[in-house]
C-alpha cells in the first residue's frame, strides 16, 4: 500500500514537472482592469514584453475597464486556471474595493493565486508651481488655521490619492475638501492649473515636477525614494502614519497549478533583478518587489486589512 502511494506521488511530481517545462506553449492573455495609459496599464506593459521574451511566448494585454477595476478583475476570476490568463492586480480592486463595494463580483483572496509582486510606488505631496506654499509644514499649518479652505484633487473616491490624503488628515487633524476627478490625468491637469491646492499623488506627477510645473514637499513611505532623494518622508517631518505604497502584481485565477505559478514567479523575480529593469523602475520612483508567491499572498492580505481600517474610519461606501 505504501509502495503504491509512493508511486502515485512520484507520478504526480513528474506530471507537474512536465507541465512546468512545457508551459507556455501558446500566447498568454494579461487582463488589465483599467483603461490604457493609467498606472496599472503602464505596470503591465513594463513587464509584459521582457517577461514574454523569457517565457518564449507573446503576452497579450487586454484592457477591461470599469467600476474602479472591479469588472476586469471579476472577469479574470472566472477564467480557466491554466496559466494562459493572468491578471495585473493592483491596490484598488485587490485591497481597497472589498471595503467599499457590497458586490464586487469576486473574492479578492480566494478567487486568485498570487504570483509575484512586481513593484510598489509611494505618493508625494505636490502643489502647483505658483502656490504660495514652499514646504509641507506651510501647507499643514495653513490648513490647520483655515479649516475647509484648502482643497485637494484625486483620481476618484477610494483612489490612492484620496486615501493618502485621508491618512494625512488623520495624522495632522487638518480639514480639507476633496475634489474627485475621473482619473489621475484630469486631476493633475487641474492641480497644475491651480484649480486645486494640492495632491498626495503617485509618481505620475514626476514629469510635471521635472518641468517645474509642480513643487514636491514630502513622500509617503518609511524611507526616502531613490528617484527623489532630497524629498523628506512625512515621518521625518513629524507627520506619522502616511504610508501609501501603491502595488502592482501578477495574479492568476484560483487553482492555477502550483508549477505554473512557481515558473511565473521565478521568471518575474529574475526579470525584476536585472540591472536594466531596476534602473527603469528607480527612475519611475518604483521599488521592485521580489519574493515568493506566498510572500505576495501575505502582502495582499495585510494590505486588505490595513486599508479596511482606513476606509472604515473615513466612512467611504460606494454601494
User: Looking at residues 281-308, what average pLDDT do you find?
Assistant: 94
Helix, strand, coil shares, percent, the chain, to 5: 45, 20, 35
Q: Find out whether 285 and 225 touch, Cβ atoms under 8 Å.
A: yes
Cell readout for 50 is 521582457
Residue 14 pLDDT level (bands cut at 50, 70, 90)? very low
Helix locations, 116-183, DSSP H: 136-145, 160-172
For 92, residues 6+ apart whose C-beta sits below 8 A from its C-beta are 68, 69, 158, 159, 160
State the Cα–Cα distance between residues 50 and 281, nearest whole angstrom.
14
Query: What per-residue confidence (pLDDT) applies to 300?
Result: 96
Q: Find out whether 58 and 28 touch, Cβ atoms under 8 Å.
A: yes
| Nearest by Cα to 43 from 110, 94, 106 | 94
pTM, entire model: 0.86
Q: What is the pLDDT of residues 223-247, one digit of tens each?
A: 999 999 999 999 999 999 899 889 9
Residue 314 pLDDT level (bands cut at 50, 70, 90)? confident
Ramachandran bin of 67, using left for φ above 0, alpha for ψ from -120 to 50, beta for the remaining angles: left
Question: Could you say which DSSP state residue 292 is in?
Answer: -
Query: What per-residue confidence (pLDDT) applies to 43?
Result: 93
Cell readout for 242 is 502616511
For each of the domains in the chain, give its residue range(s) and CATH number, in order of start. Answer: 25-121+246-314 (3.40.190.150), 124-219 (3.40.190.10)
| Nearest by Cα to 117 from 311, 316, 300, 314 | 300
pLDDT above 90: residue 35: no
Q: What is the pLDDT of residues 265-277, one digit of tens each?
A: 999 999 999 999 9
Q: What is the pLDDT of residues 193-211, one digit of tens each?
A: 999 999 999 998 999 999 9
Mean pLDDT computed over every residue of the chain: 92
Query: What per-residue confidence (pLDDT) applies to 9?
Result: 47
| Nearest by Cα to 220 from 182, 178, 163 | 163
pLDDT above 70: residue 17: no
Residue 38 pLDDT level (bands cut at 50, 70, 90)? confident
Ramachandran bin of 299, using left for φ above 0, alpha for ψ from -120 to 50, beta for the remaining angles: alpha
Q: How far is CA 176 from the centre of its chain?
A: 25
Residue 176 pLDDT level (bands cut at 50, 70, 90)? very high
Scan for cell 486556471, then name that residue: 81
Higher pLDDT, 203 or 7: 203
Cell readout for 281 is 523602475
Greatest Cα pair distance, the chain, in angstroms, is 80
Residue 4 pLDDT level (bands cut at 50, 70, 90)? low
Amino acid at each position: 500500500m505504501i509502495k503504491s502511494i509512493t508511486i502515485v506521488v512520484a507520478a504526480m511530481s513528474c506530471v507537474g514537472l512536465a507541465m512546468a517545462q512545457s508551459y507556455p506553449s501558446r500566447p498568454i492573455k494579461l487582463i488589465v482592469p483599467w483603461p490604457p495609459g493609467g498606472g496599472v496599464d503602464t505596470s503591465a506593459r513594463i513587464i509584459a514584453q521582457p517577461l514574454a521574451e523569457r517565457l518564449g511566448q507573446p503576452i497579450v494585454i487586454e484592457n477591461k475597464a470599469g467600476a474602479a477595476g472591479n469588472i476586469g478583475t471579476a472577469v479574470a476570476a472566472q477564467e480557466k486556471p491554466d496559466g494562459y490568463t493572468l491578471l495585473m492586480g493592483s491596490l484598488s480592486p485587490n485591497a481597497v474595493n472589498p471595503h467599499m463595494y457590497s458586490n464586487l463580483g469576486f473574492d479578492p483572496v480566494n478567487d486568485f493565486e498570487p504570483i509575484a509582486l512586481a513593484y510598489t510606488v509611494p505618493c508625494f505631496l505636490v502643489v502647483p508651481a505658483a502656490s504660495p506654499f514652499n514646504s509641507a509644514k506651510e501647507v499643514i499649518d495653513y490648513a490647520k488655521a483655515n479649516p475647509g479652505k484648502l482643497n485637494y484633487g484625486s483620481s476618484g473616491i477610494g483612489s490612492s490619492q484620496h486615501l493618502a490624503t485621508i491618512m494625512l488628515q488623520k495624522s495632522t487633524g487638518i480639514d480639507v475638501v476633496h475634489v474627485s476627478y475621473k482619473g489621475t490625468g484630469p486631476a493633475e491637469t487641474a492641480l497644475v492649473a491651480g484649480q486645486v491646492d494640492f495632491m498626495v499623488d503617485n509618481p505620475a506627477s514626476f514629469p510635471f515636477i521635472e518641468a517645474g510645473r509642480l513643487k514636491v514637499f514630502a513622500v509617503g513611505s518609511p524611507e526616502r525614494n531613490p528617484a527623489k532623494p532630497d524629498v523628506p518622508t512625512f515621518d521625518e517631518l513629524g507627520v506619522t502614519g502616511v504610508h501609501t505604497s501603491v502595488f502592482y502584481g501578477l495574479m492568476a485565477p484560483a487553482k492555477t497549478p502550483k508549477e505554473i505559478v512557481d515558473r511565473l514567479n521565478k521568471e518575474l523575480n529574475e526579470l525584476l533583478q536585472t540591472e536594466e529593469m531596476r534602473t527603469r523602475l528607480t527612475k519611475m520612483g518604483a521599488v521592485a518587489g521580489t519574493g515568493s508567491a506566498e510572500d505576495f499572498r501575505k502582502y495582499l492580505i495585510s494590505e486588505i486589512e490595513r486599508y479596511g481600517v482606513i476606509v472604515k474610519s473615513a466612512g467611504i461606501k460606494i454601494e
